[in-house]
Every structure is written in structure tokens, then in C-alpha cells.
Chains A and B, each alone.
Chain A
């Protein structure tokens, strides 16, 4: 059951295999409220598989997942209600306006119109997008679309925000703005963030790291501990060292 002290995300010994191939091997970690955890892994490391399980696209067959204290299999609606997601692929309706896309999300989360409009204003204002709420998504550039997707994921005030490589395909200024915004959000609003990426420049020194490679967690902890463990000068070198093992 949900309790105020429950971690925002708890994975306990989660495994997933596709036929003979093991995609995730006994993955366990927690993300606490206000914590920004970077899930770092090269392509094919198992990040998308992990996200598919946390978003319940597939059921967890081995191990268990809890979101804000709710078991994802037994209390899926309550658990999913505490989750905000930004998927790797854009998932907005291109022909609908920004506001209409957000209202659709608010409806799916059972929010009344009045509350939905207040939240839409709050979230879009925070990203300087409120004035563009009547524009069709198709008219926005990639960075602005991502901002709308983040606003949408936060509309129902989730405990946990999942971001699956949200900066892929964006230019440098857009990437920087999103990385800074999400880190700020986690600190200011006590939201737990799990951010999957393979780009080491998106990591802040204060972040917690999980390095995933071939479905196995190679490291989890803070940035200084990673550098100490690998005896490397920076995260990029450490990441390279950890993900070259077993190649």
C-alpha cells in the first residue's frame, strides 16, 4: 500500500527475457522523492525494456515493481496514476492544438475541466508555452514539442517522472534547456525523476547514476563514487570502461 515514506519507484529483482535472450537480469533499484536518477546505458542495454515494464506495456513476470508504494501488477491503476511519462518517440497528436492534447491527457486521468485548465496554465507557463496553447503541435519545433510533452506528463502531479531519451534529435540549446528544467523540477517540486539516456553530458554532479549494460546493472550510486570505483577522470571515461566489459 501507499505510504508517505514509500520510494517513488522500487524495482526488486526484475528480469525479462525475449525467448532465449535475457534483456534484463535481476534489476533492483529505488528512486526516492526529489531524486534525479540517470539510467545510463548504450543502445540495446535494456533501457527501453525496463521502461516498457515500468509503464506496464508488458507485465512483469519475474520480480516486482512498485510506484509510490503501489504494486504495478496488483494495483496497476493506482500505480499508473502516480506516473508521468515522456516517451522516446513523440506521442502528441500533430493535428490537434497544444491545449487539446493536454485536455485529452487530463481526461484520461479523470481531471475535471476547471482543474485541468488551471494545471495546463501552470505547466505551460512554467515553460513559456502558454501563449502557444492554441497552435497545432505540427507548427511547433522539436524542442517545443518536447516541452509540451513534459508539461503533459506533469499535468496530474505525478510522484515519478519517467523520461526515455527525451532529447534525442534536439539541437544543443533545446537539449540544455530540457536537461536544466527537469533537474530544477526535481529539486523544487520533490518529484522523483528517472531519466534514460546514453548521453553523458546530460548528467549533473548531484545526480544518482545507474549504469545498465546488457541487461545488468554495472554500477549504481553517485557521480563521485562512480569516478572513484572506475579510477577515471570523468563520467564519459567511466561509462566507456563499464560498458566495454564483456563486449
Chain B
């Protein structure tokens, strides 16, 4: 197998993912509207009730809209990761997944290619959101938009890998509602997306600890620091480690002789 074959397969999977996203207009609109609703309504409502003292990377007092922007970028990627996962379960039920799995490439590569393609889609969504936010006067230093890119790649890969892992466990579309309740919401609310860690600590030590170890918190912090041209090494290592763990488990789950594929075989 030559490297060109891998590149062509990656192109095929990426183009397909992008075209699917473009063709599903509702998905594009809801991916954009969801964080904007949080920014325009939720943040406006809570602006006066949540007092935020300056914590790194902020050097001065900031508006709540500015605080939750990194969290909303993370939310876009979290939902996109879950959306990809949902589409994989759908593809598997509908059979489309089989055309991918029967192609002459190692399964780990097919999953990584799918992950890269999904991450690219999430990054496009994130920048579209930032563009709208810019018109709403939520702005960061111009270099922040560039520094943000590698952070979005890493966080997008990590959250996408989590989606892949979940899709290897979920057997039917109906079970997906559980993912919303037990994964997306706890991950989002138990994180630094909406409030800083010290605020949580004031309420509950347990919640503070859970939020601290939540990989989504670390992804949000990575994004937050990158937006202000700073590098959060701890968040980066944590997110990278979570990516490796989730991806390895997903590859195991999709292995035809191990993991969930073999178990699913018993239910055909």
C-alpha cells in the first residue's frame, strides 16, 4: 500500500464529510444557531449576575460574553463530535458504513481519516461562529484567531475521538438519546465552559474536582488561552492524553476480531 493510496482515501473521506455537511443545511444552521443563542441570550442574561475576577489568561475584568466564547467554541466541537458519532451509528444501521470498512485500508486509518474530516468540519463551524461573534463585538486580539487553530485541531480531535468511541458502543440510533443525557450535558455543564473553576469550588468541592478532571474543561482552557496568544501546557498534555486514550479505545472497539464489532456479530 503506497502513501498516495492513504492520501487519496483521506481526500475521499474528507470531501464526503464536507459535502454531507454542506448538503444538510439544517445541520449547518443549528450548529451555528446553538452557540449564538447561548451568546446572545444566556450570556446577556447572566452578565449582571456572574461577577468574574480577572484570572489567567485575562488581565482585566471581562464581560461574561467574552468569558463563555471559548466554552461555546468547545460546545460546537463537542456537538460536532457527537453528531459524527450519531452519523456513524446511522451509517452502520443503514449500511453506508460497510462501504468504508470493506475498503482495502487498515481500520485504524479509516477511523483516523473520519476523525480528521469531522474535526475539519468542526473548525469551519467554530470560525463561522467567531465571525458572527465579531459583529456582536465579542473580539479577541487578531493573532488569537490564528493561534486558536492548533488548539481547535487538538480539541476537535479529542472530542471527535470520544464520539467515535461512543459510536462503537451504541448499537442502535434509539440509544443515542442516552448519550445526550449522560455524556453531552454532564460534560458541558461540569466544565469551565460557563463558569470558572473557583466559582464551582464555592458551591461544591466534588463538582469542582469533577470539572477539573473533565477532559472537556481542559479542551476549553486550551482554546481560551490560545485565543489570547498563550499556551496552556497542562491543558494541552491533558487533551492530548485524552485523545490517545479515546482513539485507542475506539480503534479497539471497531477491530473486527476484538471489541464491540465482535460482540455486535452475535446480535445480527
Contact = CB atoms under 8 A, between A and B. Distances in A.
Contacts of A56: 101-102, 256
Interface in A96-147: 96, 100, 103-112
A106 B104 contact: no
Contacts of A96: 16, 19-20, 23
Measured as residues with beta carbon below 8 angstroms from the partner, the interface class of chain B is 35 or more
Contacts of B99: 85, 87, 91, 105, 108
Contacts of B256: 56-59
Interface stretch (B7-15, B33-41, B50-58, B236-244): B7-15
Interface string B249-268: 00000001100011001111
Nearest to A112: B8
A80 interface: yes
A77 interface: yes
A61 B258 CA distance: 11
Contacts of A48: 268
A110 B151 CA distance: 31
B262 A87 contact: no
A107 B104 CA distance: 11
A65 interface: no
Contact of A93 (B20, B105, B265): B20
B150 interface: no
Contact of A107 (B12, B94, B101, B262): B12
Nearest to B3: A110
B15 A104 contact: yes
A175 interface: no
A61 B89 CA distance: 25
Interface string A55-93: 111110100000000000000111111010101111111
Contacts of B184: none
Given A93-B20, A112-B4, 19 more contacts: A55-B102, A56-B102, A56-B256, A58-B257, A58-B265, A77-B106, A80-B104, A85-B98, A87-B99, A88-B95, A90-B95, A96-B23, A105-B103, A106-B12, A107-B12, A107-B15, A108-B13, A108-B100, A109-B5
Interface of A: 16, 18-19, 48-49, 52, 55-59, 61, 76-81, 83, 85, 87-93, 95-96, 100, 103-112
The 4 closest A-B pairs by CB, nearest first: A107-B12, A110-B5, A89-B95, A59-B257
23 contacts: A18-B268, A19-B266, A49-B268, A56-B256, A57-B102, A58-B257, A58-B262, A58-B265, A77-B104, A83-B102, A91-B94, A91-B96, A93-B20, A95-B23, A96-B16, A96-B20, A105-B103, A106-B12, A107-B11, A107-B12, A110-B1, A110-B9, A112-B8
